[in-house]
Structures are given as C-alpha cells and as structure tokens.
C-alpha cells in the first residue's frame, strides 16, 4: 500500500478523534473524559489514538484550535461589514455575543483551556503552533482594522493606541462572555440581572470609550 494511502487513513482517524473529543469536552467536564471514552466515540482503538496523539493534553490543544476557529468563522460569516468604524465595532461585538448565546459550551471550553493550560504545554512545537494560530485568527477578528477605519472616518478617537485598545476590547469581551457561560445563572440569582444585558452594557461602555 502507498504512503499516501496510509497518510489519508491517519489523517481521517486523527480528524475523527478530534471531533469525538470536541463533542465530549463540550458536553462534559474535561476531567470526566478519558482516552477510552474518546476512542469509543471515534470508533478507533487506543493504539490508533497514540499513533495520532501523544497524550490527551495534546488533543485538548487541537480541540481548542477547532473551537476558536469555529467561533472566528461564525463572526466572519455573520458580521455585517458595512458602516462607519464605530458602527462596525458595535456589530462585531453583538455578533460575538450572538455566537456565545447559541454556543455556550464553546466559550466554557475556551475558559477551561485558558485556566488549565496557562502554564502547561504538551510540547514546544504545539505551543508555538497554538500561539501562531491565536495571532492569525485574532487578526481575522479585524478589531484593529475597525479601529483604524473609525479613526480615518472620524467616528473613533485618533488619540487611541490601536494595538492596546484592540487587545483591551478582546480581553474584556472574552472575560465577560466566559463568565456568562460558566456562572451566568449564579450572577442572575445574586444580582437579579441577565449577564447578557451586563455584556451589552459593557459594550456600550467600550463604544463610549473609543468614540471621538
């Protein structure tokens, strides 16, 4: 049999394992999922698993990349890329909120991953690949481009540091959306308000901050 055929089979098995792991990680707590569970769902043997991945931690990185890619793709495909800079910034934030409302498990997993793996890397090559992925996909969010457009069209303050402000917007938004999906019900009970409404209020504060 040809090397190409073996590679195709390995790639197919690898993708099936990633999809099985993603399904289980998004439905259950990460600590409740084992390699056996993933292999059973993917329909592969433990031997096949280790031909594709060195550990479940390495697989968790691949799922994180998949989950974030799906989030970015949704925002790209549903975001109405028309209007002034300030209008586009509001639209992209609301589109992001829409995605998380429809896919809360994605944001919960991103939050878990950020917490659990902040100081743990399965291997340097995978860690570097993940950093490159995050850098490239965050560029696809176009936050910096939107801010620059707003500065040019006069709807966003020219005094802003674009790089710093886009990072601030991303980190604030990801933080509130993670809390919305992880402890939203608790916050609702404690404060008597929907976290979704808190997120929209925060968006309003961001827009007010960047406005000219």
Rounded to whole angstroms, the Cα distance separating 74 from 113 reads: 20
The terminus-to-terminus CA distance of the chain in angstroms comes to 65
pTM of full prediction above 0.75: yes
The mean pLDDT of 196-208, rounded to a whole number, is: 94
Domain with CATH 1.10.357.10 in the chain: 56-210
Kindly report the CATH number that applies to the domain delimited by 56-210: 1.10.357.10
**Residues 208 and 135: beta-carbon distance below 8 Å:** no
Instruction: Report residue 45's pLDDT band, with 50, 70 and 90 as the boundaries.
Output: very high
Residue range 77-113, pLDDT digits in tens: 998 889 999 999 999 999 999 999 999 999 989 888 8
Q: Give residues with Cβ within 8 angstroms of 30, minimum separation 6.
A: 60, 109, 112, 116
Cα distance between residue 67 and residue 71, in whole Å: 6
Contact 89, 146 (CB under 8 A): yes
**Which CATH fold topology does 1-53 show?**
Arc Repressor Mutant, subunit A (1.10.10)
- 211 bridge partner residues: 156
- Is residue 159 predicted with pLDDT exceeding 90? yes
> Helix crossing, 162-191 with 104-116: angle to 10°?
110
Residue ranges, CATH 1.10.10, the chain? 1-53
The residue length of the chain stands at 212
């Amino acid at each position: 049999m040809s090397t190409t055929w073996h590679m195709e089979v390995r790639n197919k098995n690898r993708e099936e394992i990633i999809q099985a792991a993603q399904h289980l990680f998004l439905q259950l707590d990460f600590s409740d999922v084992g390699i056996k569970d993933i292999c059973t769902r993917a329909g592969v043997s433990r031997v096949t698993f280790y031909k594709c991945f060195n550990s479940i931690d390495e697989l968790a990185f691949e799922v994180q990349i998949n989950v974030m890619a799906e989030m970015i793709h949704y925002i790209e495909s549903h975001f109405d890329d028309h209007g002034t800079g300030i209008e586009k910034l509001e639209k992209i934030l609301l589109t992001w909120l829409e995605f998380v409302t429809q896919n809360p498990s994605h944001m919960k997993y991103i939050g878990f991953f950020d917490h659990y793996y902040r100081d743990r890397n399965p291997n340097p090559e995978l860690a570097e690949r993940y950093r490159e992925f995050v850098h490239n996909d965050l560029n696809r969010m176009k936050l910096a481009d939107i801010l620059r457009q707003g500065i040019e069209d006069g709807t966003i303050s020219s005094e802003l540091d674009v790089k710093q402000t886009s990072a601030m917007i991303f980190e604030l938004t990801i933080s509130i959306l993670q809390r919305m999906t992880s402890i939203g019900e608790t916050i609702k009970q404690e404060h008597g308000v929907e976290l979704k409404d808190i997120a929209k209020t925060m968006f309003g504060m961001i827009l007010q901050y960047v406005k000219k």
